[in-house]
């Protein structure tokens, strides 16, 4: 929630309140630099809201203060799931050091919805021109940020490589951002028709991220489940190093049940690398003995709704 996202499952906010639908919720955090963050949701409202140091702020501004990345069992399928799932995942990573990226992606989605509504309602050319110009500018910025992120994280990846495949990203690589924006604006103006009452237009909304396993010389989606998990963990470690190198900040890494299928040697290697990742790391598991090799850690046991600190797993 404090990442400005919709939570790990992306559920409606009403599903996070009491089951009877009453009330709301709020989440607070005091950061090491004394910044106070708050995300809250009121019953009857449609959106969450944020406060930074007691003042109302856009949700996108939270990423400038707290850079969070997570892996749950759901992300284990990120290389074989739909392109939209990968876009969401990698855009969240890109916002880890370019915090404005999160807001750009959200703004682009909103503008695309407005454009579809304008086309359905038969808006005049002047109105559509204004929307298309905004979309072209923001979409170009989104594509450029994706390309920059892929290029920079590859520096910290040794056994994998990230790529971005999309219409606008390809335009930027072939020319430059300014030329790509002009070409994409022309594309938008040439594609103002509806097909089966739906807007059909290419752009950053259809781009995809690719991950290549260098050790096996194969795309990640063609490797085994265990190899995909290893690649994903290496990606998160590289991301933490990139964020720390670029911003000086230590990201928060949440890893849910990531060691369930790792042997003892692989677990020890992972924990050693996490310990040197310049990040605040939270790792969950069902068995305390799983974390026997973790150095310099605080252990928290949760059972039957009760929480207690334990010293040794």
Question: Same structural domain for residues 42 and 166?
Answer: no
Host H or E run for residue 68:
strand 68-71
The neighbour count for residue 122, using CB atoms within 10 Å, is 7
Q: Do 35 and 125 sit in the same domain of this protein?
A: no
Q: What is the pLDDT of residue 312?
A: 57
Which residues lie across from 57 on neighbouring strands?
Answer: 50
The whole-model pTM stands at 0.86
What are 52's strand-pairing partners? Answer: 37, 55
**Residue tagged 């990573």 (tokens):** 93
Q: Is the pLDDT of residue 28 over 90?
A: yes
What's the CA gap between 222 and 228, in Å, rounded? Answer: 9
Please state the domain count of the chain. 2
pLDDT-derived band at 148, boundaries 50, 70, 90: very high
**Highest mean predicted confidence (pLDDT) among 40-54, 63-77, 124-138:** 124-138
Higher pLDDT, 313 or 185: 185
Of 157 and 5, more confident: 157
Phi, psi of 221 (to 5 degrees): -70, -10
Pairing state between β 55-57 and 198-199: unpaired
157 lies in the same domain as 305:
yes
Residue with tokens 């509806």: 194
Q: Which domain CATH number covers 256? A: 1.20.1050.90
What tokens does 244 get?
A: 């720390």
Least confident of 43-47, 209-213, 252-256, 305-309: 305-309
Q: Whole domain around residue 84: which residue ranges?
A: 67-310
* Separation of alpha carbons 89 and 146, rounded Å: 12
Single out the residue in 22, 45, 61 at which a domain terminates.
Answer: 61
Tokens of 219: 């795309």
Q: What is the pLDDT of residue 98?
A: 85
Alpha-carbon gap, residue 45 to 96, rounded angstroms: 28
**Domain termination residue (choose one: 39, 61, 83):** 61
Using an 8 Å Cβ cutoff, are 101 and 224 in contact?
no
Mean pLDDT lowest for which of 69-83, 128-142, 183-197, 281-295?
A: 281-295
Average pLDDT over residues 155-167: 94
Residue that the structure tokens 């920059």 belong to:
148
Tell whether 95 and 169 lie within a shared domain: yes
If asked whether residues 20 and 84 sit together in one domain, one would say no
Q: What residues contact residue 224 under an 8 Å CB cut-off, 6+ apart? A: none
pLDDT over 60 (residue 313): no
Do 35 and 79 lie in a common domain?
A: no
Type and span of the H or E element at 149: helix 125-153
Q: Cα–Cα distance between 48 and 167 in angstroms, integer? A: 33
**What are the distances in angstroms from CA 146 to CA 34, 77, 96, 104, 182?**
31, 21, 12, 12, 19
What pLDDT, on a 0 to 100 scale, did the predictor assign at position 197? 79
Q: Average pLDDT for residues 38-58, to the nearest whole number?
A: 90
The answer to whether the CB of 105 falls within 8 A of the CB of 4 is no
| Structural contact between residues 251 and 243, judged by C-beta atoms closer than 8 angstroms | yes
CA dist 153 and 102 (Å) reads: 18
Q: What is the pLDDT of residue 21?
A: 62
CA distances from 198 to 109, 193, 283 (A): 15, 9, 43
Q: Are residues 2 and 75 in the same domain?
A: no
Q: Are residues 136 and 73 both part of a single domain? A: yes
- 267 in the same domain as 147: yes
Average pLDDT, the chain: 88
Cα separation of 194 and 96, whole Å? Answer: 36
**50 and 109 fall within a common domain:** no
Based on the fold, state whether residues 50 and 103 are members of the same structural domain: no
């Amino acid at each position: 929630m404090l990442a400005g996202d919709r939570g790990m499952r992306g559920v409606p906010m009403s599903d996070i309140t009491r089951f009877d639908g009453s009330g709301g919720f709020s989440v607070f955090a005091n950061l090491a630099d004394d910044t106070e963050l708050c995300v809250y949701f009121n019953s009857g409202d449609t959106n969450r809201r944020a406060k930074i140091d007691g003042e109302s702020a856009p949700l996108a501004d939270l990423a400038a203060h707290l850079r969070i990345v997570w892996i749950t069992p759901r992300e284990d399928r990120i290389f074989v799931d739909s392109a939209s799932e990968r876009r969401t995942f990698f855009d969240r990573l890109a916002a880890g050091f370019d915090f404005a990226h999160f807001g750009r992606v959200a703004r682009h989605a909103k503008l695309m919805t407005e454009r579809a509504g304008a086309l359905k309602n038969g808006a005049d050319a002047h109105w559509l021109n204004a929307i298309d110009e905004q979309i072209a500018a923001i979409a170009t910025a989104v594509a450029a940020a994706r390309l920059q992120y892929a290029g920079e994280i590859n520096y910290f990846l040794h056994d994998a490589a990230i790529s971005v495949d999309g219409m606008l990203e390809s335009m930027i690589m072939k020319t430059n951002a300014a030329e790509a924006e002009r070409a994409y604006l022309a594309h938008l103006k040439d594609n103002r028709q509806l097909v089966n009452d739906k807007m059909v237009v290419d752009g950053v909304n259809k781009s995809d991220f690719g991950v290549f396993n260098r050790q096996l010389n194969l795309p990640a989606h063609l490797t085994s489940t265990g190899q995909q998990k290893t690649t994903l963990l290496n990606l998160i470690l590289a991301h933490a190093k990139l964020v720390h190198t670029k911003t000086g900040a230590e990201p928060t890494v949440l890893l849910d049940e990531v060691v369930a299928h790792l042997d003892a040697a692989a677990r020890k290697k992972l924990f050693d690398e996490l310990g040197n990742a310049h990040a605040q790391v939270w790792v969950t598991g069902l068995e305390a003995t799983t974390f026997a090799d973790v150095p310099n850690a605080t252990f928290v046991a949760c059972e039957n709704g009760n929480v207690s600190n334990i010293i040794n797993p």
